[in-house]
Structure 1
């Protein structure tokens, strides 16, 4: 995979994970969990507008918007008691920020495996992150 195929935000996140020793990657994921942006009020007050990611062990909800300039905005929520899941949501929220629909759709489906966490977290948790990415792409195709 060349960097030209991966959006700059995601390439930076991937490189950040791969630059640290394998045993430090879980700590980095936990740091991302602390950086998950709060939901905008319009979703905080209306959780019924959000979609649940059923593949995640913890209750993860998300909503995707595309603004008038074609920029994707991913909003997600995950409980603080589920820091790895929350970290994955934060990685995607931050990594997809500022991308167009086509750029998000071009994100490799295996991005969660590209950040080097396969030995640090369970395959079930990685599937949850893959599901959040996949559901985001599905929703964007529906909006198109």
Structure 2
């Protein structure tokens, strides 16, 4: 089985990038991705802690919201992932950026089909503590739960 099996193309490309470099470079790539996490949209900046969901499983403060763009067919559409994490938490920001770049804009069913072991497929096991890797797993689980809840409520 390949590390990219079952992954949507944008996320598969990120996983391939991690596998193309050595362990030390993986950390550098994660830090680079942390700097690419988009700023919050204007409408969320002021009270983001009240309007976004905190992913408490993460060691650093991480907030998430999803903006759903429904199609005319009930339960179908695309999801835009929005994360907020402090600059002093580059690992958390890097993981959020991976999910934002790899999943944002995808169809609901594509997100729900993403394998739960994405955090392991990145090959960061030697560079990042298991607790931090579980934080990324929790981010993905929260995204999928929110998408699933939205699909069920709109069908």
- With structure 2 as the length reference, what TM-score do the two structures score? 0.89
- Distance, in Å, in 1 between the alignment partners of 2:46 and 2:78 is 24
- Distance, in Å, in 1 between the alignment partners of 2:141 and 2:70 is 23
CA RMSD, 1 decimal: 1.2
Per-residue deviation, 1:97 = 2.1
Give deviations 1:78-112, integer Å, cap 9, x for gaps: 11001011100011001002210000000110001
Per-residue deviation, 1:63 = 0.2
- In the other structure, the counterpart of 1:55 is 57
Structure 1 unmatched ranges of 5 or more? none
- In the other structure, the counterpart of 1:113 is 120
- In the other structure, the counterpart of 1:143 is 150
Give deviations 1:57-84, integer Å, cap 9, x for gaps: 1000000121134111000011100101
The reply on whether 1:25 has 2:32 as its aligned counterpart is: no
- Distance, in Å, in 1 between the alignment partners of 2:139 and 2:43 is 21
- In the other structure, the counterpart of 1:132 is 139
The reply on whether 1:87 has 2:89 as its aligned counterpart is: no
